[in-house]
Amino acid sequence: MTKQLPGVDVVLVGFGWTGAIYAEKLTDAGLDVLALERGPWRDTTKDFATTFAQDELRYYWRHGMFQEASQSTVTFRNNSAQTALPMRSWGSFLPGNGVGGSGVHWNGQTYRFLPSDFVAKSHNEERYGPLPEGMTVQDYGVTYDELEPHFDYFEKICGICGKAGNLNGDIVAGGNPFEGPRSDEYPNPPMEMTFSQDRFEAAARNVGLNPFPVPSANMSRAYVNPLGLQLAPCTYCGFCEKHGCGNYSKSSPQTTIIPALMKRSNFALRTDSEVLSIEKSADGSRTTGVTYVDTSGETFFQPAEIVVLCAYPLENTRLMLLSQIGEPYDPSTGEGVVGKNYCYQVMSGATVFFEEEYTNGFVGAGALGMAADDYNGDNFDHTGLGFIGGGYIACYTTNARPIESHPVPEGVPGWGSEWKQAVQANFLKTASVGVHGASMAHRSNYLDLDPTYTDRHGRPLLRMTFDFTLNDRRLSAHLTPVAEEIARGMGGRDVVVAERKGSYDSVPYQTTHNTGGTIMGTDPKTSVCNRYCQSWDLPNLFVAGAGLFPQNAGYNPTGTVGALAYWSVDAIINKYLGQPGPLVQP
Amino acid sequence: MKAPALISAIGGLAALMATASTAQELSSSQIERGRYLTIAGDCQACHTDIENNGLPFTGGRALGTPFGTIYSPNLTPDDETGLGRWTREEFHDALNEGIDDEGQHLYPAMPYPNYTLMSREETDAIFAYLQSLEPVHAETPENDLPFPLNIRMSVSGWKLLFFEDEEFVPDPDRSEEWNRGRFLVDGPLHCGACHSGKNLLGASQDDEYLRGGLLENWFAPNIRAGAGGGIAHWDTDDIVEFLKYGRAEHTAPMQRMGEVVSISTQHLREEDLRAVATYLKSLEDELREEEDTPDPVRLETGAGLYFDNCAACHAADQSGVPYFFAPLSSSNKVHAEDPSTAIRIILGGARAQPTDTIPSMLAMPPFSWKLSDEQIADLLTYLRGTGDRRAGPVSAAQVTEMREYLAEEEH
């Protein structure tokens, strides 16, 4: 028996970064907003205080911050000919859970996608001719210039630390010369770099690249954001990724938005409340609210004038499929949209082992690094290369967390006393150079509902069908040698290269940058949402997050996720509320 | 000498004219004046059962005193349980003389020794504001006091000894701002209720005026800001920022003072806070006797504990992060003669008060599960023995005692 609740203006499904952004702006505009979060409340002092935030067993090994696979997981296969099996323990990616979502345990690398990334189809076709058969790359429908003010605001909310490379069209020394024009400098200066970044910078310049400090959400100094929220200087402890920050030094929904929001009487949050489906009116023309279940198993119908999907991209896609909103994507015909263009990223790199020099990798931060963008997006000529897109090449010192991190040179056994000696000899003397490669959408990579496996509520799990594409492999094969060349120029004794070859393997950790499934675009036949992140099918349903990306760029997604959320919520307030209905006529 | 007299004469005249001509306006401006004084008096804090999410001003909050537990009454104009049937005169007597509507003596947990400085116009204004609130029926629990204190007549003896019914008299040799500050500090803000030392009968001692006081095992620090005072290193702006934004260079209000800033001082006019600061800056203090340098072994142990557990936020050199994490080298809590608050914060943690301007919820986690009594004692001995001013060592027994108190409080 589903209990009927009194209606609200807006219900948000999920309360991580995008949930907090929509809630802050919509409550500020005077609307009654309710956020439903599947996981628990999370708070710095209670859940990741300095006294235990560095507990690697709890947070890394036992996945303390992540979605529990027993609560919900995905099934996986490399291609349609295989039978997908459920991921019973997370591997190559780690979806978040609870208040703050993945925004609690992220590294804090906060890039803007390139202007050309938002028009990937038209830009590349104009420059290189038609895209290859099967590549379903599309334009976003929104441009970098339109998103710029929203990138800027998100950076100010987060207090991002970096150096502008392009201020209103003027190239500025020390920053990224390839970035889109910025209206303002970063709110904070870059972090202090360490030995490894200094060596990387010199080596990258030596091969003609343009290194710049990675824009970081780890604070280089004390900062108060536009909502009056305080971010403290980072201590470079290196417990960012997979951990919450106990020092208030990493931008997260908790440190930058939630405390201001919780004071507002027109905001409410219900934790441990899992949305089961998005409900539609009898004529199917609009959503009427959501049905959710609490921990006692009781189900509720929460009516709302507007619903915004703010869960992780995989769950947003699943909810739309389960609720039968939009046409599911069919890879055999290429028709349908929900679940289309699932993308990942292609990570590779090289590790440098020094003989004498100490790199002291334990002095780190999630986004402490130098990067070069010369091989990202369309910053280089792809003529004759057989692929589009690219990736940044970076030297991060994010951690030397002792359980997780013990790089050893080639030829060392994987265990035993020789291995231990090698760990001891190299632990303080390594640096890494990584390639953060883009992933272009392909007809054969997609998400749908699994025909066999269900969750504890009996609902089908999401099925992921994905493998690296020819474009991915060529991209990685082209960029990894550049990373290796830089690594060899850093003055170490030994370099070990980790190429990305063969099929995608869902077990070893690679990156939690899963995109697509609810993509935005210009045509309802090829996208789930319009340029304002509004469902083409139900005009009072909006979707947030990286599921909107028609394909994945060679960057960490959070900066663009934040900008899209601010862009969309601005459209709700300034366009939709005055005249509720489709904001784009198909 | 002339100026204040003139001002008060004009004020009196204006009030008179208002009474005669514009009663409606007077009523609304009087309510507004009362609202402001109610905020300044922090009435809502004690008269709301904050621990149990009680409605504002409906009372029922358990106030621990050294003599037993007193429950605050309902201030809303409910006829049966609140002030619905009170008159302005009765209300004035309560604030001015500590006597309720039935002529009974009020326990001095109610700071009428401070409120008595307010004028009749001011208590009338507060009354008018409270009468404008929505009446809420809320019974006040019986006080839990031992004999003979449960007999209210016993308060009369206390009042005979320690209470003087007096109006505020401006000091003509001081500026108007200073006088306003003193009125606020000694009157509605009743700072001394916590920050002045008490005698064994719970009355503020004149010679301990704003030199710090112990209340429910919190040591409210010395807030004299003139030379030699506990916050001599704070300038006027520091004091104003602390009270207005809940963040200042030296520290943030936490727990009990956090409540005061949240409910009261952040809503006060800046010129009033500046007056408070001006007055506090005029209060000098005798220099404390220098303590001997503590045992070097304890100092070394304490320094190691500090570096491992505290330095990430408070910085290796104790300089902290101003406006975020308190610089400990100059902390008036760390270096207070009574280390209770410092012990308590290390054991139980502390939360910087979120305010309207700075809603951040910065907090220090509890260390009770992580550090032993000996370790906390060594850590504090190190901090108190190496800062800008020296304070005596802390014993493990003091920490044990506080740990037991906190465990008991939790039950």
User: How sure is the predictor about B19, in pLDDT bands with cuts at 50, 70 and 90?
Assistant: very low
**A contacts of B364 (beta carbons < 8 Å):** 45
> Which one, of B395, B253, B404, lies nearest residue B323 by Cα?
B253
- Closest residue in B to A223 (Cα–Cα): B324
Going A508 to A509 to A515 to A517, the CA torsion angle's sign is positive
> What pLDDT does B185 receive?
97
Residues of A in contact with B356 (CB under 8 A): 263
Does residue A224 sit at the B interface (CB-CB below 8 Å)?
Answer: yes
In Å, how far is A351's CA from the nearest CA of chain B? 29
pLDDT digits (tens, 9 = 90+) for B354-407: 999 999 989 999 999 999 999 999 999 999 998 778 899 999 999 999 999 999
Contacts of A55 in chain B (CB under 8 A): none
* pLDDT at residue B2 greater than cutoff 60: no
Can you give the pLDDT at residue B292? 78
* Residue B153 banded pLDDT, cuts 50, 70, 90: low
Rounded average pLDDT over A96-100: 95
Residues of B with CB under 8 A from a CB of A: 247, 309, 312-313, 321-325, 349, 351, 354, 356-367, 369-370
Q: How confident is the model at residue A412 (pLDDT cuts 50, 70, 90)?
A: very high
Query: Can you tell me the distance from the alpha carbon of A2 to that of A302, in angstroms, rounded to the nearest whole number?
Result: 10
Q: Other CB atoms closer than 10 Å to residue B231's CB: what's the count?
A: 25
| A486 within some domain | yes
Closest Cβ opposite residue A45 in set B323, B325, B363:
B363
Alpha helices in A93-194 (DSSP H): 102-105, 120-128, 144-158
Q: Look at residue B23 in the predicted model and tell me its pLDDT.
A: 42
Residue A581 lies in a domain: no
- Residue B26: predicted pLDDT: 58
As a whole-number percent, the residues of chain A with pLDDT over 70 amount to 100
Q: Is the pLDDT of residue B10 over 60?
A: no
What is the structure's pLDDT at B3? 40
Q: Does A222 touch chain B (CB under 8 A)?
A: yes
DSSP category for residue B306: H
Could you give the CA distance from residue A479 to residue A487 in angstroms, rounded to a whole number? Answer: 13
In a domain, A118, yes or no: yes
- Whole-number Å distance between alpha carbons of A523 and A421: 59
pLDDT of residue B288: 77
Tell me whether residue A213 is in a domain.
yes
Q: Which two tokens stand for residue B27?
A: 């009523």
Q: What is the Cβ-side half-sphere exposure of residue A483, based on CA atoms within 13 angstroms? A: 36
B195 known ligand binder: yes
Residue A50: list chain B partners with CB under 8 A: 312-313, 365
Chain B's closest residue to A255, CA to CA, is: B360
Catalytic residues of A: 513
In a domain, A111, yes or no: yes
The per-residue pLDDT for B308 is 95
Residues A437/A346, Cβ–Cβ less than 8 Å = yes
Does the pLDDT of residue B137 top 90, yes or no? yes
pLDDT at A50 over 90: yes
Cβ–Cβ gap B312/A259 under 8 Å: no
Q: Which range of residues forms the domain containing residue A568?
A: 3-576
Check the annotation: does B43 bind a ligand.
yes
Please indicate, yes or no, if residue A17 is contained in any of the structural domains.
yes
Residue A228 to residue B358, Cβ atoms within 8 A: yes
Domain count, chain A: 1
Specify the pLDDT at position B17. Answer: 41
Rg (CA), chain B: 22
Q: Is A45–B321 a contact, with Cβ atoms under 8 angstroms apart?
A: no
pLDDT single digits (tens) A457-468: 999 999 999 999
HSE at residue A42, side-chain half, CA atoms within 13 A, is 31
- B233 annotated as ligand-binding: no
CB neighbour class for A357 (10 Å; exposed up to 12, middle 13-18, buried from 19): middle
The predicted pLDDT at position A7 comes to: 98
Structure ipTM over 0.90, yes or no = no
Asked whether the predicted pLDDT for residue B24 surpasses 50, the reply is no
Q: How many CB pairs under 8 A join A and B?
A: 62
Asked if pLDDT for residue B22 goes beyond 70, the answer is no
Question: Are B359 and A229 a contacting pair at CB < 8 A?
Answer: yes
Chain A residue numbers touching B362 (CB-CB < 8 A): 230, 232, 248
Among all residues of chain A, which has the CA nearest to that of B322?
A222
Most confident of A128-137, B62-71, B286-295: A128-137
Cis? peptide before B148, omega within 30° of 0: yes
Residue A172 sits in a domain whose CATH number is: 3.50.50.60
Q: Which of A222, A228, A232 sits opposite B357 (nearest CB)?
A: A228
For residue A232, give the nearest of B247, B325, B354 by CB distance.
B325
CB contact under 8 A, A51 and B247: no
Rounded CA separation A176/A166 (Å) = 7
Could you count the other beta carbons within 10 Å of the beta carbon of residue B25? 10
CA atoms of A95 and A105, how far apart (whole Å)? 10
Nearest to A263 among B325, B359, B364 (CB): B359
Q: What is the mean pLDDT of residues A32-38?
A: 98
pTM of the model: 0.92
Residue B190's region, left for phi above 0, alpha for psi from -120 to 50, else beta, is left
Q: CB within 8 A of A521, min separation 6: which ones?
A: A138, A139, A140, A141, A527, A529, A530, A531, A550
Distance CA A547, CA A539 (A): 18
- Give the tokens for residue A109: 């690398």
Residue A223 distance to chain B (closest CA, Å): 10
Give me the residue label for tokens 């334009």.
Answer: A139
Return the pLDDT at A523.
97
Query: Considering CB atoms only, which of A51, A233, A260 is closest to B359?
Result: A260
Average pLDDT of every residue of chain A: 97
CA A526 centroid distance within chain? 23
A478-492 pLDDT, tens digit per residue, is 999 999 999 999 999
Mutate: best of A51, A218, A221, partner B, most B CBs <10 A: A51
Q: Is residue B149 classed exposed, middle or buried when 0-12, 13-18 and 19+ CB atoms within 10 A define those classes?
A: middle
Q: What is the rounded distance in angstroms from the CA atom of residue A529 to the CA atom of residue A408? A: 47
Query: CB–CB of A137/A117 below 8 Å?
Result: no
Contact A45 B358 (CB under 8 A): no
Across the interface, do B360 and A45 touch by the CB < 8 Å criterion?
Answer: no
For A157-216, the pLDDT digits (tens) are 999 999 999 999 999 999 999 999 999 999 999 999 999 999 999 999 999 999 999 999
Q: Classify residue A585: in a domain, yes or no.
A: no
A239 inside domain: yes
Is pLDDT larger for residue B292 or for residue B169?
B169
| B190 annotated as belonging to a binding site for a ligand | no
Give the DSSP H/E element, type plus range, for residue B83: none
Work out the average pLDDT over B20-42: 78
* Mean pLDDT on B135-156: 81
* Structure-token match 């025909």, residue found: A451
Asked if the Cβ–Cβ distance from B351 to A235 is below 8 Å, we say no
Which range, of A386-395, A500-509, B161-170, averages the lowest pLDDT?
Answer: B161-170
Chain A, 551 to 580: residues with Cβ < 8 Å from chain B are: none
Determine whether the annotation assigns residue B194 to a binding site.
yes
> Where does the pLDDT of residue B68 fall: very low under 50, low under 70, confident under 90, or very high at 90 and above?
confident
